[in-house]
Amino acid sequence: MLCRQLMDLPGPRWKRGKDGKDFAALAAANPMSMIVAELQASLRDSKPVAILSGDGKDAVLAVGAHQAALLNRAAFGRAVQNSGDEKQWFHLGPEEMFFLCHALRCITVEAENKKQMGEGELWDLLTSTSEPFPEMYKAYEHLRLKNWVVRSGLQYGADFVAYRHHPALVHSEFAVIVVPEGKMFGARCGRMKVWPDLLCALRASGSVAKTLLFLTISTQNCELRSSDCLEQLIVHERMINRWIPQQWREQQDKPRREEANRDEQRQKQCREKAIREEQEDTRVGLLFSYWGVVLGFTVLSSLLVYKLKL
């Protein structure tokens, strides 16, 4: 296996637009950071409320048409079909809901009984309904703050998948596995420590043309009982690829092949130059021979005329 840093990124696989649209140029003209900043400002002005579901694992958010368009562009949540025209509803997962509430501070959250929940109460509820929520949210927040679009990776056998921009424009590049480290995470620290699990994850990500990205969440002295622990959680990024001997040999041999091709090209150019020079010399020799014959014939003709006159 080969481990690399997240900054050493492969090229994105942009989708093909109709009528020859250049999605790469469209994404460059509309960076995700600007879209999220516009969404944050708009939601802060309208102060929307997300209503928790009965089990407390997710929520629905009612917004106007403009905020709905921004939520779609920023790839937060999923639109819910409804018959109303004034408001549009979005279904938010637990990480998305807490990110909008905690990191962007642009929505408020209410329980079904319309009781407004503070950040501490919401944290207690989410961690009680999902034990791995702290490390999952930290991984989600880590990628989102780097302007990656993060979606569920369940269908790919991963925790998340990460997109360079909106999923309508580009294919996801990473299948993300979140690996906790430290005694505070309890039994969850044994994840991905045996070779079969790692190989299965590598095979699954490779079969769908994605790079396997491990986000290791570590801490030394941190209580997970409040959202204050998020400042002390450390995220380590590791990209893992399968090491294929044949491909490695080809990569090693590529510089040698390129050098050999360059040498062959230089030799070909030298041969062509020598042939051109030889042809040029031949043409010059023929030219001199021609003028020599003409000059000799002229001299001979002059002598004959002179003798006849005598």
Give residue-wise pLDDT tens across range 28-40.
Answer: 999 999 999 999 9
Beta-bridge partners for 241: 2
- Return the percentage of the chain with pLDDT > 90, whole number: 44
**More confidently predicted of 112 and 153:** 153
User: Under the phi-then-psi rule, with left for phi > 0, alpha for psi from -120 to 50, and beta for the rest, what region is 22?
Assistant: beta
Spatial contact of 253 and 247, defined as CB atoms under 8 Å apart? no
Rounded CA gap, 205 and 228, in Å? 33
Residues 123-133 have pLDDT tens digits of: 999 999 989 99
Can you tell me the mean pLDDT for 155-159? 92
Cα(56)–Cα(126) distance, rounded to whole angstroms? 7
Token duo for residue 12: 């994105």
pLDDT by residue (tens digit) across 211-242? 999 999 988 777 888 888 899 899 999 998 87
User: Residue 56 belongs to what H/E stretch?
Assistant: none
| Active site annotation includes 171 | yes
pLDDT digit string (tens) for 248-302? Answer: 555 556 666 677 677 778 878 877 877 777 777 666 566 656 666 566 666 566 6
Q: Note the pTM of the prediction, 2 decimals.
A: 0.75
Q: Is 163 a catalytic residue?
A: yes
Per residue in 172-199, pLDDT (tens digit) is 999 999 999 877 787 787 778 888 888 8
Task: Check 57, 87, 102, 171 and give the catalytic one.
Answer: 171
Active site residue: 140, 163, 165, 166, which one? 163
How far is residue 275's CA from residue 281's CA, in Å, rounded to a whole number?
A: 10
Note whether 216 and 181 are within 8 A (CB).
yes
CB-based burial, 52-82: b 16+ in 10 Å, e otherwise:
beeebebbbbbbeeebbebbbbbbbbeeeee
Which pLDDT does position 303 carry in this prediction? 62
Tell me the mean pLDDT in the region 148-177. Answer: 94
Asked whether 80 and 90 are in contact (CB, 8 A), the reply is yes
Adjacent-strand bridge partners of 51: 60, 110
Give the model's confidence band at 86: pLDDT under 50 very low, under 70 low, under 90 confident, else very high.
Answer: confident
Q: How many helices (H) and strands (E) does the chain have?
A: 8, 12
User: 5: pLDDT confidence band, cut at 50, 70 and 90?
Assistant: very low
Q: Which residues contact 44 (CB under 8 A, 6 or more apart)?
A: 105, 106
